Amino acid sequence: MIKFKVEYYDSDHEKSLSKLSCAAELDKVVKNGLIVPEQEFLVYSLFREQKRQTGWRTYRELAEKVPSRLGTFNDYFSLEAGSVTSRFSSTDDTDKTMTETVGVGASLSLASRMYGLTEADWEKIPVTTNKDLDFQVASTGHEIVEVESKGAVVASVAEKSKVSGRAVDIRRKKEEQRNNHHNKNTLIGVITSIPSHKGDIAVCRILDPDGDDVGISPRKYKLLARLLYYYLIFRPF
């Protein structure tokens, strides 16, 4: 099992997040932490590679790729202490792609707990001028939830200032979407601080930026996502 501490980014974000439909569950996970099966975390981390191509689309297909990814993952991170620890302390020695991978795995695991979502609900949003690979989208049936994931290797997970640049990036997107788009979705920003030495537990800090309207009702989006998921599993080719 992999453990993460969960914190509100600051009191302002805590106040905004308290209005979410999942506020009670979020408050619970902030108090108790997030514990995720190792396999679930590793598969969710591969969702940044999700493609609409055979072998890359579903949770099951991505799970089959975990063994081939473990060598590289273990070169950069350790799960031996029951959390995620970087094997490097200098940012010059870390790998941005691998760090983003941990951020995606942690954030989707967290959002799934908050909203009661499953692997069948998540889909990567295609790259456009307004979105990038940091975003994953799902529907609870009542609201559409987008997650923006960030990850950072830090000397001390307690030093929030080390991830402030990533928070600024999320806030800029929030302002752009608020001002330029008629936003109706819920977007959860998650910044995961990964310790560079054993003894610390990785920390997920939650923010509340606005999302981007995907142009479909939450109920219909959830139904279509589930139908597509099972179609991809059971199709004969």
- 236 pLDDT exceeds 90? no
- Name the pTM for this structure: 0.77
More confident residue, 131 or 51: 51
**Interhelix angle 38-45/96-115, nearest 10 degrees:** 120
Sheet-wide strand order for 123-124: 34-36, 2-8, 203-207, 186-195, 144-154, 135-139, 123-124
Dihedral of CA 25/30/32/36: which sign?
A: positive
- 134 pLDDT exceeds 60? no
> What is the spatial distance between Cα 24 and Cα 180, in angstroms, rounded to a whole number?
31
> What is the spatial distance between Cα 3 and Cα 83, in angstroms, rounded to a whole number?
5
Decide if 94 contacts 76 (C-beta within 8 A). Answer: yes
Residue 222: what pLDDT?
53
Residue 186: what pLDDT?
77
> For residue range 186-233, what is the model confidence (pLDDT) as tens digits?
778 899 999 988 788 999 999 875 444 445 455 544 554 555 555 455
> What is the spatial distance between Cα 59 and Cα 231, in angstroms, rounded to a whole number?
13
- 24 pLDDT exceeds 50? yes
| Arithmetic mean of pLDDT, 169-179 | 57
Decide if 21 contacts 142 (C-beta within 8 A). Answer: yes
| Arithmetic mean of pLDDT, 81-94 | 85
3 by Cβ neighbours in 10 Å (0-12 / 13-18 / 19+) ranks as middle
Pairing of strands 203-207, 186-195: antiparallel
| Arithmetic mean of pLDDT, 122-130 | 61
